[in-house]
Chain A
Amino acid sequence: SQTIHQWPATLVQPVGSPLSLECTVEGTSNPNLYWYRQAAGRGLQLLFYSVGIGQISSEVPQNLSASRPQDRQFILSSKKLLLSDSGFYLCAWGPGQATGYTFGSGTRLTVV
């Protein structure tokens, strides 16, 4: 069966520090991968998605970036965090674009 792993579960980082969040999927190949952010009291916002290794589409221009160095690995990064980057970050995967998503357990990021 397929599983999705996301870590760390919680993170407190000072403003201006770098960020690296990792997401991996097991039990499938060539998944579509997604990074979402959920800010307090707001809906889910799609940040990046990837349909293959090295293929990244950005939905929201900001100081975050994403990379997919391996088929089942998706990384969300920032060189310098802003206070506004605080939120709940969720990774998701789907076997195709219109086949339903499975979400990871999320990372609660607090920038102080």
Chain B
Amino acid sequence: KQEVTQIPAALSVPEGENLVLNCSFTDSAIYNLQWFRQDPGKGLTSLLLIQSSQREQTSGRLNASLDKSSGRSTLYIAASQPGDSATYLCAVFGGGTYKYIFGTGTRLKVLA
């Protein structure tokens, strides 16, 4: 059974710091991995989608990497801003199931 874990559960950093959010999954036979952002009381916004054949994807200040063999992905946020404050969720597709399995998220707070 695929399980997705995100560490840390919460993170508070000063503005301008570079930071890394971690996502690990137990079954490495995945098709892809997706990172989302969720603002309080809102839906999920897709940030990056990494296919299993890819090592990383970049969008602006965000860079997501995927190491399928070790069951890990990281989301790197450069020069963090208060507007980056949100919960970040990763989801994996595959690993014995034809649906996305979500982690419980990392709640990020960037202090001005």
Contact = CB atoms under 8 A, between A and B. Distances in A.
A105 B43 contact: yes
A34 B45 CA distance: 15
B4 to A, nearest CB: 8
Chain B interface size range: 20 to 34
Interface stretch (B12-20, B65-73, B99-107): B99-107
B32 to A, nearest CB: 6
Chain A interface size range: 20 to 34
A31 interface: no
A34 to B, nearest CB: 8
Given A98-B98, A103-B36, A105-B43, 11 more contacts: A42-B104, A43-B89, A43-B103, A88-B41, A92-B44, A97-B93, A98-B31, A100-B46, A101-B44, A101-B46, A106-B43
